Chains A and B, each alone.
Chain A
Amino acid sequence: SSDEHKLNFKKSKEACLNYIQDAMLQKQWKRAAEFLTFYAESLEKDYSREHIGPSEMIWRIGTEILCHHSHSSMKEFSCFIEQMKTLGVKRYLKVCLEHVFHLLCNGQIDEAYQSLSLAESWRFGEQTAIQDKEMKLIQAYRGLLDYYSWSKQKNILLEHGLDGFADLSVEQEMHSCFRKAAMNLKEIIKIPGVWDLFVKCYVDLLEFYGDHNEAHQVLNEYAYNSRFPANPNAHVYLYQFLKRQGKSKKSLISALKILHDIVPSHELMIDFNTMLQKSKKRKKRRLGLEVIFAALDYAGSKENVKAWSCLARQVKQIVISEKHLDWIKQEWNSRKDWWPAFHFSRYLAKRNWQENKSLSYEKALVAGILLGKDCKYFKYVSHQGCKAQVKRFRMLKKFVNRHSPVYLRISG
């Protein structure tokens, strides 16, 4: 009966697919390709109602095989993709986009641009939400390529400009590239998403043409719009823009403060701390201490010498001035039950001493103040330092010994 026939056909189709998968997962591309030729038959009797039908599978598997097969060429690949584009209307844009990615990764920028333009002009009935997104991405990538050609022409122009020679046609072309790029890039960055690449390029364009307000607005939107994910890069871009614009310390600090709230372990926190330490305001210096303590909470900055030296410097300052010891005390309170094991164990003292002397110096200073001179870390490092007759370690020992009452005040 036809039902049975369908069932058998389905079974053999599945078996064939299993063979293909098996071969691919063992990197036997040639074998997989042979099986795929059999699998192509499943297109003729496509009874399936699964969302990934045989045609999509052939596209996916075929692409993968052609990417890895030893005898495949770019031409064959493009030929295959062209066939795949005609196989399913719903998938047309996705196949185009993936093809463009493949071309871009292989350095065929011009072909990719052509393919993008072609895909952009494609129309078929009403677009689904996904197709709409794919179309937007296609436009955005075209905008990106336009930006690259703009920047290429800009470089040419700048070089020639230095020579005192200006080409009007190059300049015109550059402006038309700018218009095309700006239009497409502007569209995509309105939609919530991660658009680091597109935002950077768009801001670069705007800055070149002196539209700083628009650039600032775009970056603000990208960083602070709540519909967008909390992308640390958005804040970094904003901070860098503000810095480039020579904006006031206050605005820089407020930008970094928000970054600190999102990602306390970010590498910019060291800059932030230095900036705050220099501040005249007590509140800011207090924030600085908080920032550097928080940064050192994370496993990733455990061996960050810069961060440790920032902390050591600020702690030393406070100890010497004997003002605001309560700041240290407050910060230390929430950490004293786990920092000793996390940062100042004997094992780490040994390892830090072996691997990085300056790290162990900074850490020993902090340990000596926070945990007193009997702390394992400090004892080990200062002992080793004195043994190795390094001057600064002797100074360190003296300093900690002199300020040992501080420890009592902090821990008490």
Chain B
Amino acid sequence: MEFPAALFPAYFGAGPPREEDGFAPAAGWGEHGQVLEGDPGPGRRQAQPAFVPRRGGTGEIWNPAEAAAVPVLPPSAGCWIPSPAPQDILYRNSRCRKLRVGKSGATLDFAKQLGHFFVDHPEDAFGSMGRLLHKNFHLGNSKLTRPARSSTIRMTALMEDIDRLEARRGCHRQHLASRLRWFSHLCRDWLFEVPLGLLADCLHEELMLQWSNLLFDDSLTGGALAWLPPRDTGSRTGCLVHPGGQAMNHLFFQDMVLEELPRAQGSPARFELSGRIQQVAAARVDGKDFVGVRSDYHCGVWRVPGRTGAAPTPLQVIRTDVPASCLTISPHLPGELAVCTQSGTIYLWNVETGLQKLRHDPQTMFFRDHSPWRWSDFTAHPRVLSCADRTGLQCLDARAPKKCHFDLFKVGEEAGCQQGERVVLPMYLGRAHPSQYLVTTQFSVYVLDERLPLVPMLKWAHMMKAPPLFAHLMPGDSRRSHKLVLGTSRTQELLLMQYWGERWRGSQSACQLAGTPQKLHSIAGCLQHLPTQLPHRQHLLQQRLGAPAAGLAAALQEDGTCNSMLVFQLSEAGDVFCQRLTHEAACAPAPTSRDEATTAPGSSPLFEPPASSPLCSGTAALRYRRWLRALSRGYREAPQNIWPPSLSQRRLFTRKELEGPTGPSALQRQVRQWLRQVMQEGSRIQHWEPLALQPVALPQPPEPAGGQDPLSTRLTAAWSGDWEQWWEDRTSFSLVQRQRALRERRRRQKRARARQSLSASFTSSLTYQSELSELSDAGPLLLSPGRPPIPSQEGSSPPGSPPAGSPPASPAPDEALLSSQSLRSRGIPKERRKTLRDYLSVWAEGPPDLPDLPGSQASQLCIPSSQSQLSSASQTRRKRPRMGF
């Protein structure tokens, strides 16, 4: 192999990376890097030396054929379950958001998740205590009968409060749920049996894991999509290997015919696996394709025979104890693979001879990094494997892995890295040049040559918003540049870059970046070109198309004069989209760049009307229509996932409010009777009797009947001369009416007052109860702010005898329940007795009584009272030491 006669000048330093740098949005532009003297041409030197830049040389021009990526396969059957989004596990609160501004740290919604645990696993959380208490809790609407009342309390109001709390989410007046808070204060340390500290630790750990996965999920590294190119140069049928199914645990081998847009041919070969497919790797050795599949705990290898249509054969499966993080296939020897696990072990896996452990090192190579991610790939020498962690790459000889190894890449000054830079994806570029290697980090891409380790042949800041987890190489030759497509997962970015390698069959020269990088369409980008959908469907579509990318593959298709490139992208939802690019020099004679078409500075393809986009070309539009139809059909078939929007009434109104009047009123009964009568007679009702409505229309002076309006009656009377009589009649009538109305009102007021005093005395009886339970703690009586002070004699009334006017509901049986002896006899430990007493005493109070009042009154009356109860409890408790002192 020839080595370039001269390399681009570069400084070489050893040590940790420089400190100053960070992510820079435009770092990849505007630099030539270095220059080198180009080929002087045959014969003697030219008069002037010609220079070539390391970056900024000319590359091939590839133009997208469509305005967006087009689906190549029908959407996978069954619904897709989206992975957790940031809003699912982050704490969302305005106050918190304010705090977070400027800080990069996120607050995990720990409390919500812990709450989910109690809701999702109530049996584990409250099982035995629930069984213990369930006789004493009443959840129905009916009133408790006397014998039951002695040992049972109603929890209905509490349940309603819980329901209302759901409905009130986002409401500012959250303090209204004080009843709940109170409840939780009272029983949070004894109600559930799970050791809370332990549970919280586990949950926190899991949340951190989920969050770090959301920030960067490295399990997808390498991508789960592979393209097996056509066998013969003339053939156009290749094979797409991709995962699918609801859990992405089905492996499909789909034959594809490369036309203007690739078309599926026949039904795919399908294998069901026992885990989610994280990576699909493929390599062609000796004319046979080998496909490796990695899921968390299993790795498998398939062989795809040479002729098209033949079914792929599974060769071998291995199981790992620790999740595998890498699976690569040797491009040199058939049936040889490299496997890495997160425990830091690297294996060479030969289908015939089995596994050979090459290295086991849980520590990272060059400096300490917490990530357990490991990667391994092959090199130009079939017995030498590279092994990578986040800090760099080493090459080791499988024949003597302990002794023979050398450093290929180090995150450090050697490669001019930045601080915090980490290896994301290493890839052997053997098809372009046998000794070249690609390393991507979150900031840059590096092309390395294993013959000159540590010094990158090429370095370029890729400026992608997320670390590139996927890469696909399309090798060129001595005339054509090597094409490299990089892909990210969460942001779905695709970037096409080209480089001139060391041309190992022609004249050799150092690596150069060719042309400018080019952004390709992402799956989500097609959303703007689709017809407008119904809002909920639009949302579903948005979610579906915006799913993180899970893989990338590409194919070059040479078709006479026209060269085209097909780039496939797989999403986590299992959708495979494809876009075609055409090589300009060969295909389109008109060199007008797309740039000229757009006019206003504010315009972007985003704002262009879809009509102007070439997407409306027949095939693509048809593909889209079919895909959308299949997608919506899929959603319709599985309706359990889209709940129809529903609103619980119980959250908006109290039970009492919802309960209608017990029976038809007298008026209704009368009207019904009329109706029935009229129907029997076959006549009509001329007009409703206005007098019948009189109890409702109290404040208005009622009008006498007669079919005439008061004015005409009065006029008639005036006309006939007895106007005085009319006035007399009228005043006497209304006087009777008014008197009656007044009486009625007074009666109502009385009734209301009675009720009010009743509830007031009831509350006071409660205070008395808690007092009772405190036994000696006769603290000062509570004064609730919203109510007149309670008469002092209530406080001085002897214990045991309920104050006058308190309803029989005041729980004398509770006393028995609350007495120390009875609690002890029930086996409740001493330290919990008081809590339980507090709790029961509070809940003996009547949710049953409260709904009798109109809602607004209830909130004014009973809730402050409960607050004051709470404060009293703390007050008395606080006082205890002083009294003992």
**Which A residues contact B (CB, under 8 angstroms)?**
17, 19, 21-31, 34-35, 38, 50-52, 56-57, 59-64, 67-68, 70, 98, 101-102, 104-105, 107, 109, 133, 137, 140, 148, 151-152, 155, 188, 191-198, 200, 227-233, 236, 262-263, 265-267, 297-301, 334, 338, 341-342, 345, 347-348
Q: Does B320 touch A at the CB level, under 8 Å?
A: no
A60 to B171 alpha-carbon distance, docked (Å): 50
A233 touches B519 (CB 8 A): no
* Distance in Å: Cβ of B865 to nearest Cβ of chain A: 44
**B601 and A31 contacting across the interface, CB-CB below 8 Å:** yes
Chain A nearest CB from B271 CB (Å) reads 26
Main secondary structure of the interface of A (DSSP, over half): helix
Return chain A residues, CB-CB under 8 Å to B383. 297, 338
Would A98 and B463 count as touching, CB distance under 8 A? no
- The answer for the CA separation of A298 and B27 in the assembled complex, in Å, is 37
Taking A17-B25, A51-B21, A236-B3 as given, write out 13 further A-B residue pairs in contact, using a Cβ cutoff of 8 Å, ordered by the A residue number.
Answer: A24-B29, A24-B516, A28-B595, A29-B593, A38-B601, A63-B31, A98-B31, A107-B50, A151-B45, A229-B454, A231-B7, A265-B435, A301-B1
B519 touches A267 (CB 8 A): no
Those of B666-704 within 8 Å (CB) of chain A:
none
Report yes or no: A102 in contact with B517, Cβ–Cβ below 8 A: no
CA distance A152 to B49 in the complex (A): 10
B residues apposed to A, CB below 8 Å: 1-14, 20-22, 24-27, 29-37, 45, 47-53, 56, 286-287, 331-334, 380-383, 399, 414, 430, 433-435, 451-455, 463, 495, 504, 516-519, 593-596, 598, 601, 603-604
Majority secondary structure of chain B interface residues (helix, strand, loop or mixed): loop
Q: Find out whether the CB atom of A341 lies under 8 angstroms from the CB atom of B333.
A: yes
Residues of B within 8 A of A102 (CB): 32, 56
Q: Determine if B11 and A265 form an interchain contact, defined as CB atoms under 8 angstroms apart.
A: no
Q: Are B594's CB and A28's CB within 8 A?
A: yes
CA distance A263 to B454 in the complex (A): 14
A-B contact pairs, 8 of them (CB 8 A): A19-B604, A63-B30, A101-B51, A155-B45, A194-B455, A196-B7, A233-B5, A347-B287
Bound Cα distance from A231 to B14, whole angstroms = 15
List 10 tightest A-B contacts by C-beta distance, closest first: A60-B30, A63-B30, A300-B434, A300-B1, A25-B519, A101-B32, A347-B286, A196-B6, A52-B24, A34-B601
CB neighbours (8 Å) of A262 from chain B are 451
Decide if A67 touches B56 in the complex (CB within 8 Å). Answer: yes
- Please, which residues of chain A bring their CB within 8 A of the CB of B331? 299
Contacts of A137 in B (CB 8 A): 9
Q: Which of A52, A57, A233, A345 contacts B3 (CB 8 A)?
A: A233
Residues of chain B within 8 A of A101, CB atoms compared: 32-35, 51, 53
Given A63-B29, A195-B9, A263-B3, answer yes or no on A342-B452 (Cβ-Cβ < 8 Å). Answer: no
Q: Which residue of A lies closest to B3 (CB)?
A: A232
Q: Which residues of A sit under 8 angstroms from B593, Cβ to Cβ?
A: 27-29, 70
Closest to B37 in A: A197
Pairwise interchain contact A30-B24, C-beta atoms closer than 8 A: no
Say which residue of B20, B32, B519 sits within 8 Å of A22 (CB atoms).
B519
Minimum Cβ distance to chain B for residue A354 (Å) = 12
The answer on a CB contact under 8 Å between A51 and B35 is no
Contact B6 A229, beta carbon cutoff 8 Å: no
Name the contact of B6 in the complex, choosing from A61, A62, A228, A233 (C-beta under 8 A): A233
Kindly list chain A residues whose C-beta atoms are within 8 Å of the C-beta of B414.
229
Interface pair A98/B1, CB less than 8 Å apart = no
Separation of A63 and B26 alpha carbons in the complex (Å): 11
The residue in B25, B29, B380 that gathers the most chain A C-beta atoms within 10 A of its C-beta is B29
> What is the distance, in angstroms, from A372's C-beta to the closest C-beta of chain B?
20
- Choice from A151, A200, A300 contacting B435 with Cβ under 8 Å: A300
A107-B50, A267-B1, A299-B430 as given contacts; A51 in contact with B31, CB under 8 Å: no
Please indicate the chain A residues that have their CB under 8 angstroms from the CB of B31 in the complex. 60, 63, 98
Question: Given A27-B593, A51-B20, A63-B30, A230 and B598 touching (CB < 8 A)?
Answer: no
Instruction: Give complex CA distance A256, B37 in Å.
Output: 26
Give Cα A227–Cα B27 distance, bound, in whole angstroms. 29
Verify A64–B24 contact, CB threshold 8 A. no
- Flag if A148 contacts B26 (CB, 8 Å): no
Assess A133 versus B11: contact at CB under 8 Å? Given A155-B45, A299-B430, A300-B434.
yes
Query: Which of A31, A109, A230, A338 has a CB less than 8 Å from the CB of B453?
Result: A230
Does the CB pair A298–B1 fall under 8 Å?
yes
Given contacts A266-B1, A341-B334, are A98 and B32 in contact (CB under 8 A)? yes
- Specify which of A61, A68, A98, A192 is in contact with B26 (CB 8 Å cutoff): A61
- C-alpha gap A105/B50 in the complex (Å): 7
Q: Are A197 and B9 neighbours in the complex by a CB distance under 8 Å?
A: yes
Contacts of B27 in A (CB 8 A): 52, 60
For residue A232, which residues in chain B have a CB less than 8 angstroms away from its CB?
A: 3, 451-452
A107 is contacted by which of B1, B11, B48, B455 (Cβ under 8 Å)? B48
A194 lies within 8 A of B25 (CB)? no
* CA–CA, A233 and B3, complex, Å: 8
**CB neighbours of B22 from chain A (8 A):** 50-51
- The minimal Cβ–Cβ distance linking B396 to chain A, given in whole angstroms, is 15
Cβ of A306 to closest chain B Cβ, rounded Å: 12
Residue from B4, B20, B332, B430 whose CB has the most chain A CB atoms within 10 Å? B332
Q: A60-B31, A104-B35, A109-B49 are in contact. Are A299 and B594 (CB under 8 A)?
A: no
- Residue in A closest to B48 when the chains form the complex, CB atoms: A109
Complex Cα spacing A68 to B56, Å: 10
Give Cα distance in the complex from A297 to B333, angstroms: 12
A342 and B382 form a contact (CB under 8 A): yes
> In the complex the two chains form, what is the Cα distance from A350 to B198 in whole Å?
66
- CB neighbours (8 Å) of B3 from chain A are 232-233, 236, 263, 266-267
Cα–Cα distance between A233 and B604 once the two chains are bound (Å): 49
Q: Provide the bound-state CA to CA distance between A123 and B26, in Å.
A: 28
Query: Which B residues lie within 8 Å of A348 (CB)?
Result: 286
Residues of chain B within 8 A of A67, CB atoms compared: 30, 56
Q: Is the CB of B380 within 8 A of A298?
A: yes
Is the Cβ of B12 less than 8 Å from the Cβ of A62?
A: no
- Which A residue sits closest to B63, measured CB to CB? A27
A298 vs B395: C-alpha distance in the bound complex, in angstroms? 14
Q: Which residue of B lies closest to A112 (CB)?
A: B51
Q: Decide if B601 touches A152 in the complex (CB within 8 Å).
A: no
Rounded to whole angstroms, the CA-CA distance of A62 and B31 in the bound complex is 11
Which residues from chain B contact A263 at a C-beta distance below 8 Å?
3, 451
Neighbouring B residues of A265 by C-beta, 8 Å: 1, 380-381, 435, 451
Instruction: For the complex, give the distance between the alpha carbons of A68 and B271 in Å.
Output: 49
Distance of A171 Cα from B624 Cα, bound (Å):
75
Partner pick for A233 among B7, B11, B332, CB 8 A cutoff: B7
Instruction: Knowing A197-B9, A298-B1, say if A57 contacts B25 (CB, 8 Å).
Output: yes
Whether A22 lies near B29 (C-beta < 8 A) is no
| A300 touching B504, Cβ below 8 Å | yes
Report B-chain residues with C-beta under 8 Å of the C-beta of A30: 595-596, 598
A391→B519 CA distance, assembly (Å): 57
Cβ contacts under 8 Å, A334 to chain B:
399
The CA-CA distance from A101 to B53 in the complex, in Å, is: 7
CB distance from B612 to the nearest CB of A (A): 15
Q: Which chain B residues lie closer than 8 Å to A105 at the CB level?
A: 32, 35, 51-53, 56
B47 touches A152 (CB 8 A): yes
Chain B residues within an 8 Å CB radius of A34: 601
Q: Is the CB of B29 within 8 A of A27?
A: no
Taking the nearest CB of chain B, how far is it from the CB of A341, in angstroms? 5
The complex places the Cα of A101 from the Cα of B2 at a distance, in Å, of 27
Residues of chain B with a CB closer than 8 A to A267's CB = 1-3
Assess the B25–A52 pair: CB atoms within 8 A. Answer: yes
B9 touches A140 (CB 8 A): yes
Contacts of A200 in B (CB 8 A): 6
Q: Which of B30, B334, B381 has the most CB of A within 10 A?
A: B30
Q: How far is the CA of A35 from the CA of B9 in the complex (A)?
A: 35
Alpha-carbon distance A25/B601, docked complex (angstroms)? 16
Contact at B516–A17, with CB atoms within 8 Å? no
- Across the interface, which residues of B come within 8 angstroms of A228, CB to CB? 12
Across the interface, which residues of A come within 8 angstroms of B45, CB to CB? 151, 155
Contact of A27 with B594 in the complex, beta carbons under 8 Å: yes
